[in-house]
Every structure is written in structure tokens, then in C-alpha cells.
Structure 1
Amino acid sequence: MRAALPLRLARSAAFTVVCVLLAVGAHGFAGGAAPTLSALLVGGAVVMTTATAMAGRERSPGVVIGLLLSAQAFLHELLASLSPSVETAAVAHAHRLGVGAGMLTAHVTAAVVTGWWLSRGEAALWSILRRIGTGAIRWLRTVLAVFHLFARLRPRPRFASYDLDREPRRGAVLRHAVIRRGPPVLVFL
């Protein structure tokens, strides 16, 4: 089952909002400065474009989690590079989680939990769409069967047979005939 563009945009918008909010929350929790609006717009646009390209069909939980981890890594680097204050080694030590294993563990854990949550929502959405589609097909089959039944019960029109022995009537005026014989009429003003 392939998704139409409106469904793709809705799914990718939800994915983008979750990714950006998770990245901003994790960035703030780790002690990073508040990201600028331009950084959020650039990051959101890149994630939205990628998610729209990937939202054509249902994805497995592993793919959703992998995409979320990739988006988190991209957004982390983007927010770190475009934040108002450039992160130096001194600022990095001031982060609550630090830059090493603690931050990586927090990002991976948050991405896995959120990815699992998104994949469960994805599975529920596709299940609902399949049920709607199956119900619509059953309904359409029923309607077509009823129309077919009525078409069989309705008397068929009888066509008159053409008698080859009989001559056509001479001098009969045709009802929808247009006579245009002779030269065109010139109109002078």
C-alpha cells in the first residue's frame, strides 16, 4: 500500500515535530544554549524533506528508529554548530551530561524509545488505513452487486429489425437535416 502526498506530508510532519522537539529538549537538558529560529527552521526543513521522501509506505520499527537516530545526530550537530555561543571545551565540561558517553547514551536511549513509540503509531495508522480500505472495497462490491442485480431485472430495450426487402420511403423529410445547397450568401451592409 502506497501513501498519497497528503498522508506522506502528515506523517513526515509528525516525525519532524517529534525529532526537532526531542533534539531541542535533549540539547537544553545537556546544558546547551537555546537554538536560534534559523537553526530550527533549517533542521526542520531537512528532516521534513527526508521524512517525506521516506514516507511512501509503512516502515519497520528498525527503520523508524534508524531514521530517528540519524535525524538526532544531524540535529545535534546542527544545533551545536549554529547555537548562539560556540561550544568550547570549557563549555562542554559545563554540560550536565558532558559530550562523551553520557550524551551519546541519552541520545540513543531517547531515540530508541521515541522511535519505538513512533513505529507503534505507524503500525496503528497503517492498520486503520488497511481496515478502511478493506471496508470500502467490501462496500463497493456490495453496491456494484446491487446495481448489477437491478440491471438484470430491468427489461432490455428491444431493437427493431431492419427489413431488407422493404424500400426506404421516398420524399420523407428528415427531422434533423440541414440543407446547405448553393453558393454562400453574401451579406452587404
Structure 2
Amino acid sequence: MTASLPFRLARAAVFAVVCVALGVLAHLFGGGSVAGPVMAGGLLLAFGAAAVASGRERPLAVILPLLAGLQVVLHVLFSLSHTPAVHAGLGHAHAGLAPSAGMLVAHAGATGLIALWLARGEAALWGLLHRLAARLCQVLLVVLPQPVHEPVAVVTAPEPGRLRSVVLAHSAPRRGPPFTQVFAFSS
């Protein structure tokens, strides 16, 4: 089953919001900052990528690489858009395009969990839609009036008579050997 345009756009929007929220939270947690216009650009980028892939149900094998690729692109976009800042709670500087090992682990773990979450939600959503469609068909079959079939009179032609030749018309059909009389004489 393929999705209609409003449904595709809604699914792409959910994917884009989750993807960008993951990237922004990872950067804020890692000590970086994300400007509003850059975040909006990342949202449009993620929405465009998700809209292309949202035509039908996608398994984890499709969602995970798409989400991971977008996380890399968003990381580069967010890293290029801000100046290095020191996060007081973590005590390290987030600088440039090269992520630290902690950031890679955080991105990979969050990407894996969110991809699994999105794939399970995707499967649940499509299962629900299939069940709703089947239920709707059942209801429509019960509610819609059934056509009334009136009995149709069947006219049959009379059977043709037996055809006999004129010569045999007055003969009596007999089967078997000729009848012979056996007389028993007693002495």
C-alpha cells in the first residue's frame, strides 16, 4: 500500500523533527550551539530527504542509514555554523568538524535507538492502517445495500421428436435371438 500525499508529508515531518531534535540535542549536550536559521535549514534538509523515502513502509534497514547519514550532514552543518564554546558542565570545547569520541558514541547510540523507535512506529502505523482499511471494507460490505436479484424465467425449447425412417416406422423392435419353442414330451 502506498501513502497519499498528506500522509507522506506528515510522516516526513515527524522524521525530520526527530532527526533534527536528535542532532540539536547532541550538539547542545556536547557543548556546541545551534543557531535558529541553521536549525531551520537542517529541518528543511531532513524533511526533503524523508519526503523522498516516505512513499511506503520502510524497514529498519532503510531508516537507520538515512538517519545516520542525515546526522553526519547535520553535524557538519551545525559545526560550521557556530564558534567553539566551552560547556561549563562538561568542561571541554566543541570545535570544528572532527567530533570527539564521546560525541561519536552519543550520536551512534542515539541514532540506533531512534532508528529502532522510528522503524517500530512505522510498522505499528502501517499495521494499524491495514487493519483499519480491512475493517472499513467489512463495514461497507455490511452497510451498502446488496443488489436484489429477481428470478428470471427460463424458457426452454421443446424436445424434438424421435426421428424414424419411414420403412421402420411400423416395425417392432426386438432384441435377442429368435424365440424358439421347446416342447417337452413325456413318455
Shift of 1:95: 3.7
Structure 2 unaligned runs (5+)?
86-91, 153-187
* 1:93-132 correspondence runs (5 A): 94-95=93-94, 99-132=99-132
Q: Do 2:23 and 2:75's aligned partners in 1 also have CA atoms closer than 8 Å?
A: yes
Could you tell me how far apart the structure 2 residues matched to 1:79 and 1:118 are?
A: 23
Q: TM-score, normalised by structure 1?
A: 0.70
Shift of 1:136: 1.5
Partner of 1:10: 10
Partner of 1:90: none
Could you tell me how far apart the structure 2 residues matched to 1:41 and 1:58 are?
A: 26
Shift of 1:71: 1.2
After TM superposition, where is structure 1 displaced by more than 3 Å over at least 4 residues in a row? none
Letter in 2 for 1:50: A
Letter in 1 for 2:131: R
Q: Do 2:84 and 2:94's aligned partners in 1 also have CA atoms closer than 8 Å?
A: no
Letter in 1 for 2:58: R
Partner of 2:44: 45
Could you tell me how far apart the structure 1 residues matched to 2:72 and 2:99 are?
A: 13
* Equivalent pairs, count: 144
Partner of 1:30: 30
Letter in 1 for 2:43: G
Shift of 1:30: 0.6
Structure 1 unaligned runs (5+)?
88-92, 157-189
- Cα displacement string for residues 37-87 of structure 1 (whole angstroms, at most 9, x for unaligned residues): 11011111011011011000000012111111111111111101112x158
SS at match of 1:32: coil
Letter in 2 for 1:2: T
Shift of 1:102: 2.1
Could you tell me how far apart the structure 1 residues matched to 2:61 and 2:42 are?
A: 22
Q: TM-score, normalised by structure 2?
A: 0.70
Shift of 1:25: 0.4
Could you tell me how far apart the structure 1 residues matched to 2:105 and 2:140 are?
A: 52
Which one has the largest radius of gyration? 2
> Is 1:152 aligned to 2:154, yes or no?
no
